[in-house]
Chain A
């Protein structure tokens, strides 16, 4: 542990918070352009968050303490999880604690809290959103864990930094299992972030909304925290996928400032590319019926199972 590893950790923690609204805004702008609209500036999410932070809080009469602490817990756990994913360097002070299973658990806590908060007020929309969120979670979490297990079988570890070291050392090569895991994780990421085939982040249409239904009752700084948590979560998944599957450019421990600079630039490029891909994907695909979620996420689970199976083939020969 050095001064630098603390410094980089602080920098990374700040980046994943401060750049997250920009990524969300960037995705929205590209989506707007792709459908021929002018669209808001990519900086709009910052303005929205600032506006929400300045607004007064309105609480429902029957809101319990749970409703009030939920936004802080959700935001805290999501931010903490995001701080654990190495983005531009693996020389971070928290890296020994970073573990993919811990990450899944942190996100699970955040999801649990948001569902409870959705139920707390007792409106029908909150309950509807919470039940759908649980449906998605019950399918997405096993798929995510199965992907993690495949990675662990392949690289011998569940710590992202060690996976990066292993991949960069050429220990994996062009593995089918990695490809299948990537597809599976992409499907999970789309579902977990409430992006289009599963949930539409831009709608308040009662038939389709999931995330929005749970947070309908929130106002002011509570809403700002929940929105920010959603943005950080998108950033987290983008960072996770880019650090495991395209780790090239990331600065490993022992490299100087030059390495950090390369790491930062390549991280920016990776995030930009993945965000653009997400926007294109969301534009070309249609929203799915709720009853088809099981097929979509079941597909993700089966892909990760298949990845494990194929792994045994290549190990046996």
Chain B
């Protein structure tokens, strides 16, 4: 297989992860957000598997499997269960309209491309564009955390951010498996903590709207 085809396929899968990042910002139902997140994790797993194949690095297959099992199946199912269990309002409340949010998203992509390309001039082409895409995914995850009121969608934003980190990690040659494993498991632990936290917030305020927390923190009287 030619280098160009390898490169283009990696590029294509990376762009797919990015595209699902945008789709996360576009969706207005929590259920749709969760299934989009599952698709993004699936694409991420595909990206990891492809990198494992072209870098000839078998340990990346483990990363792909972890992404597939935990993030594409377990996390969305658990969050779905939580949403049902907590009886949360099923639509996504946004702090900013969908259109402006997506516009900011495109600006963030441009920003990360402009940032990554000059910084990584010595690296190989594959690494550079992979880093640019991964950074965009991370920034989109952050954007999602900023522009959503509800705790569940904020957690999805956090997980999407972590997807971006994994995407960056699999593109770099020689990233040890231990690092990825620990990241994956810490995210899983975070997910469980979030779950418990949801119940606590709900018990206290009868809602998962985070602005109630501001009064507790003393930001707003």
Q: Is A19 an interface residue (CB 8 A)?
A: no
Residue of B nearest to A175 (CB): B8
A312 to B102, CA, bound (A): 20
A81 to B4, CA, bound (A): 36
Residue of A nearest to B113 (CB): A313
Are B106 and A309 in contact, CB atoms less than 8 angstroms apart?
Answer: yes
Are B5 and A174 in contact, CB atoms less than 8 angstroms apart?
Answer: yes
Check A309/B22 contact, CB under 8 A, given A174-B5, A174-B12, A317-B125: no
Are A314 and B129 in contact, CB atoms less than 8 angstroms apart?
Answer: yes
Which of B90-110 touch A at CB < 8 Å? 98-99, 102-103, 105-106, 109-110
Q: Is A294 an interface residue (CB 8 A)?
A: yes
Q: Binary interface profile of B, 109-138, with partner A (CB < 8 Å = 1, else 0)? A: 110010001000000010011001100000
Q: Is A302 an interface residue (CB 8 A)?
A: yes
Are B113 and A302 in contact, CB atoms less than 8 angstroms apart?
Answer: no
Are B102 and A302 in contact, CB atoms less than 8 angstroms apart?
Answer: yes
Are B15 and A176 in contact, CB atoms less than 8 angstroms apart?
Answer: yes
Q: Which residues of A contact B186 (CB under 8 A)?
A: none
Q: Chain B contact residues: over half helix, strand or loop, or mixed? A: helix
Q: Which residues of A contact B132 (CB under 8 A)?
A: 313
Find A295's partner among B15, B99, B113, B129 (CB 8 Å cutoff): B99
Which of A296-317 touch B at CB < 8 Å? 298-299, 302-303, 305-306, 309-310, 312-314, 316-317
Q: Which residues of A contact B77 (CB under 8 A)?
A: none
A291 to B19, CA, bound (A): 23
Q: Is B11 an interface residue (CB 8 A)?
A: yes
Q: Is B61 an interface residue (CB 8 A)?
A: no
Are A173 and B4 in contact, CB atoms less than 8 angstroms apart?
Answer: yes
A303 to B129, CA, bound (A): 18
Are A309 and B11 in contact, CB atoms less than 8 angstroms apart?
Answer: no
Q: Is A17 an interface residue (CB 8 A)?
A: no
Are A310 and B15 in contact, CB atoms less than 8 angstroms apart?
Answer: yes
Q: Is A144 an interface residue (CB 8 A)?
A: no
Shortest B135–chain A CB gap in Å is 11
Find B99's partner among A180, A298, A305, A310 (CB 8 Å cutoff): A298
Q: Which residues of B contact A310 (CB under 8 A)?
A: 11, 15
Q: Binary interface profile of A, 221-244, with partner B (CB < 8 Å = 1, else 0)? A: 000000000000000000000000
Check A316/B19 contact, CB under 8 A, given A176-B12, A305-B106: no
Q: Is A179 an interface residue (CB 8 A)?
A: yes
Q: Is B194 an interface residue (CB 8 A)?
A: no
Are B102 and A173 in contact, CB atoms less than 8 angstroms apart?
Answer: no
Find B110's partner among A174, A175, A179, A309 (CB 8 Å cutoff): A309
Which of A163-179 touch B at CB < 8 Å? 173-176, 179
Are B15 and A298 in contact, CB atoms less than 8 angstroms apart?
Answer: no
Shortest A206–chain B CB gap in Å is 25
Shortest B12–chain A CB gap in Å is 5
Find A306's partner among B99, B106, B129 (CB 8 Å cutoff): B106
Are A173 and B109 in contact, CB atoms less than 8 angstroms apart?
Answer: no
Are A295 and B22 in contact, CB atoms less than 8 angstroms apart?
Answer: no
A305 to B107, CA, bound (A): 10
Check A298/B102 contact, CB under 8 A, given A179-B12, A180-B15, A310-B15: yes
A214 to B98, CA, bound (A): 30
Are B15 and A173 in contact, CB atoms less than 8 angstroms apart?
Answer: no
Residue of A nearest to B120 (CB): A317
Are B110 and A302 in contact, CB atoms less than 8 angstroms apart?
Answer: no
| Residue among A176, A294, A313 with max Cβ neighbours from chain B (10 Å) | A313
Shortest B128–chain A CB gap in Å is 5
Which of A51-109 touch B at CB < 8 Å? none
Are A294 and B15 in contact, CB atoms less than 8 angstroms apart?
Answer: no
Are A309 and B8 in contact, CB atoms less than 8 angstroms apart?
Answer: no
A241 to B12, CA, bound (A): 19
| 19 A-B contacts (beta carbon < 8 Å) | A174-B11, A176-B15, A179-B12, A179-B15, A180-B15, A294-B99, A298-B103, A299-B26, A303-B22, A305-B106, A306-B22, A309-B110, A310-B15, A313-B113, A313-B129, A313-B132, A313-B133, A314-B129, A317-B117
Footprint of B on A, CB under 8 Å? 173-176, 179-180, 183, 294-295, 298-299, 302-303, 305-306, 309-310, 312-314, 316-317
Footprint of A on B, CB under 8 Å? 4-5, 8-9, 11-12, 14-15, 18-19, 22, 26, 98-99, 102-103, 105-106, 109-110, 113, 117, 125, 128-129, 132-133
7 additional contacts (CB under 8 A) given A295-B26, A309-B113: A173-B5, A176-B14, A179-B12, A299-B102, A302-B105, A312-B113, A313-B129
